[in-house]
Structure 1
Amino acid sequence: MEITTIKVVASDGLTGEVVNQLTNELSKYQFKIMLKYQGTTTIATSSLGVMSLGVPNGANIELSVDGTTEQLEAVVSTLVDNHLVARI
């Protein structure tokens, strides 16, 4: 498992349409992706799970993949390219 910390830059945090965009993008990957915020972990492709985290703009979250460093980098790049998160 590969893990990194990223910062949420979506103006409203991980809510509503942003969550739909995030889960749609991450559903394209064939490996398990998890998000962790304030001790709670959820599957990143679950809209309800991600919304339940209540992640605000500016928060740091942990992103992990059940895969390689290259797979982790691909996920982070996707989220950065869609202006959802920033690298720390």
Structure 2
Amino acid sequence: MVSTTLKVVAPDGLTGDAVNQLTNELSKYQFKIMLKYQGTTTVATSSLGVMSLGVPGGANFELSVDGTTDQLEKIIQALVDSKMVERL
């Protein structure tokens, strides 16, 4: 797995619409994507799993993929372009 740390841009964090937008975007990919926040990890395509992390606005979290660095970079760029996260 390859991973990186990103920052949540949404002021309310990963809740409601932000989670739906995130999971819909990540569901487009055919490889395993995980989110980790404060020691808890969940499958990034699970709305309930992502909401259970309780990631607040402005917080840093880890995104990892069971794939290549190029696949990770493609996901990061899609999330940055959709204004969901910032690179650190």
Give me the CA root mean square deviation.
0.5
Q: Which residue of 2 aligns with 1:21?
A: 21
TM-score by length of 2: 0.98
Residues in 2 aligned to 1:34 and 1:68: alpha-carbon distance in whole angstroms: 14
3-state DSSP class of the match of 1:42?
strand
Runs of 4+ with >6 A deviation: none
Aligned-pair identity (%): 77
Q: Which residue of 2 aligns with 1:77?
A: 77
Residues in 1 aligned to 2:18 and 2:59: alpha-carbon distance in whole angstroms: 15
1:68 is aligned with what amino acid?
A: T
Q: Which residue of 1 aligns with 2:87?
A: 87
Residues in 2 aligned to 1:12 and 1:77: alpha-carbon distance in whole angstroms: 21
Superposed CA deviations along residues 31-55 of structure 1, whole A, max 9, x for unmatched, are 0000000000000000000000000
1:51 is aligned with what amino acid?
A: M
3-state DSSP class of the match of 1:11?
coil
5+ residue gaps in structure 2?
A: none
Q: Which residue of 2 aligns with 1:48?
A: 48
